[in-house]
A and B are shown apart, each in its own frame.
Chain A
Amino acid sequence: MAARFDLNDQSVVVIVGSGAGGGALGRELSTRGIKVVCFEAGRRLQLSDIENDGPKMGAKMSWQDLRYGEGDIPKTNPVYSCKTVGGTTTHWTANCPRFRDFEFRALSTYGQLEDCNLADWPLTLKDMEPFYGRAEAMLGVTGTHGIPRLPESNNFKVMAAGARNVGYKDFDTYNMAINSETRDGRAGCLQTGFCSSGCFINAKWTTLFTHIPQAEATGYFDLRPECMVTQVLTDDKGKATGVRYVDKDGNAFEQKARVVCLAANVVETTRLLLHSNTARFPDGLANSSDQVGRNYMRQVATTVLGLMPHEVHFYKGTQTAGVIRDEVKHDTTRGFSGGYQMHTLSLGPERVAAIMDPNGWGKNYAALLRKYKNIAGLNVNGEDPPQQNNRITLHPTEKDRFGMPVAVVNYRFHKNTLAMLKHAQGKADAMYRSLGATEVFFTTLFGATHNMGTARMGKDAATSVCNKWGQTHDIKNLFVSDGSLFVTSASANPTLTIIALALRQAEYLAQQLKSGAV
């Protein structure tokens, strides 16, 4: 049953965040009999709270506190993340690719790109394979461990036909953490089409209905929903001693801890590190390298909608169960470094209208929207190179209701990104037009859900924030356990890698606790 640990219990591991990283780490530690207090800023939803309504579920799940964007991203809501138990695994569409071997070695493979901060990861695919394997088994990823893939939807069939026409070979319904049949106490997918609004039949894996209750069942896991951590506390010896947090009634508390792990998604993890500065750590925690907040990466992403000559009804079925992998390679004859995937994607009429024409109105616009049923869609997901000035900082004056400075996300497209976007849009355009599409629409302006890089791992404490276990170089009992750790973004959706890193970190942390090293 769920545990409740004392505020003064100095033996607990505090985890901030209950999503992919925090949920996986919490389950692993508590299963080993390690006491965990897991803070989640959002509330805990039940299956019965889930509706097939994007805007309503967005209001229930998403992080809506003010954040600013500067550069080539939206000025407000520059990222899309969640504030709810389960974090962004409530919203994700459950794509689970592994990184390729070369994607862990971007610097060695591509060479340094102009004005970039490319580096190799301090670990390899070989190091990650056992953890990828365990993560895939836990999540029930289709196309792995003998688990059948999901069936082909109309939208997939359109993309696949276009893929054949342009000569692609490597496409299927992807590796998805969505049950294709009943498994592990969760139902098989009914093709409801609302993956990103929470899956009401629980076919889609989320920590909310798996790792969190499993962790609670150990008796070593104390989940505190609606509790916002506002500061990581450190002592004059430079060790983390706990966290300060505010509960739903606005009361502030301090929770003591032996170890603190930050898994609050990139913007909040970064904000906590920078905002927890002290006389000893004037530039924020774990920031002696000046890399905290830098190297912020999204993914090279563009949504493409093809207006097809006949009906598609792309909203029917899983939103993203479809991939083309032919462009996941390093081949500079295309005019850029790194690779990209294409995924099927479906959206409701409101989002489609915004993409078809963000300023449209009038008779012609209404006539265009009447063709919604003929739309096919895909999303490009590519490698975004790290840049020092793509950076999350704290607003100099503006504070939120907790007194924390508002985060400012600075992001500009690199020319490698622009070249990749152009290539990918050209390919997608050719695919849809080969099937008779009369118009093809693109957008690159949206709040990123894939956020990475602001507390990167590395061998050298002078140029990175964390070691290869996600332990900060500067503070031995402070860990980072989310996408902030990523050295490069690869072309893969990040969640599976976040979970694999958390499983790996849990093994290391358990050893460190046992040996008394932390």
Chain B
Amino acid sequence: MLTTRRQVLIAISQLATAATLVSCTRSADQAAATAGNTNLELLASVAYDILPFAELPAELYVKAAQQILDLKDNHVVAGLEKLRDASHNAAWKDVPEAERVAILSSLQDSPFFGVVRANTLKVLLRDPATFAIVGYGGSTIQYGGYISRGFNDINWLPAAKNQ
């Protein structure tokens, strides 16, 4: 079954909301979480726009967002405010894709975008779920390497002519 971008963003939203609700005690924070506009949700959906793999579990984008928040980087806080202004405080899953890409493009040279991009790629590209998507084997300790698993099985190259 093909997963759509919209479905991924909704899943991200649900996860981020749940994660935030667990930790917030003030009713104002709970309201923000339920409205789908917390820092965690915003960052997780930006992470998805940075490297959109619809097959990946939404948890991975939320994990990336959490790691970015854990950096406690002022650029991140400031950047999130800019995103909210640019989208007029709409929940990010509801902002049309073209508009989101335009907003992120306008920020792509900012320190905020640099931090978010770098950490998103770090989390996603080190995860076995992504390995499966791009066709990378990852750890081979448990399989005894590639000696009998196709390290030399290429078959589309032109044959070497006898010299």
Contact = CB atoms under 8 A, between A and B. Distances in A.
A contact patch SS? loop
Interface residues of A, number: 46
A312 interface: yes
A225 B101 CA distance: 51
Contacts of A365: 51
B135 to A, nearest CB: 3
Contact of B145 (A154, A164, A190, A373): A190
A8 to B, nearest CB: 45
Given A359-B108, A366-B52, A311 B152 contact: no
Contacts of A373: 134-136
Contacts of A158: 154, 157
A191 B147 contact: yes
Interface string A302-317: 0000000111110111
B117 A157 contact: no
A382 B149 CA distance: 33
Given A154-B153, A161-B157, A370 B134 contact: yes
Given A164-B160, A362-B49, A350 B126 contact: yes
B122 interface: yes
B52 A362 contact: yes
A68 interface: no
A365 B138 CA distance: 21
A461 interface: no
Nearest to A373: B135
A310 B131 CA distance: 18
B147 A189 contact: yes
B150 interface: yes
Interface string A206-222: 00000000000000000
Contacts of A366: 51-53
A63 to B, nearest CB: 20
Contact of B154 (A157, A200, A353, A362): A157
B7 to A, nearest CB: 16
A140 interface: no
A1 to B, nearest CB: 31
Interface in A346-382: 348-350, 353-354, 359, 361-363, 365-366, 369-373
A33 interface: no
A52 B154 contact: no
B135 A52 contact: no
Interface string B121-163: 1100110001101111111110011110111111011101100
B125 A191 contact: no
Contacts of A194: 139-140
B152 A52 contact: no
A143 interface: no
A93 interface: no
Contacts of B153: 154
Contacts of B69: none
Interface of B: 49-53, 101, 104, 108, 117, 121-122, 125-126, 130-131, 133-141, 144-147, 149-154, 156-158, 160-161
Interface of A: 51-53, 55, 151-154, 157-158, 160-161, 164, 189-194, 200-201, 309-313, 315-317, 348-350, 353-354, 359, 361-363, 365-366, 369-373, 435
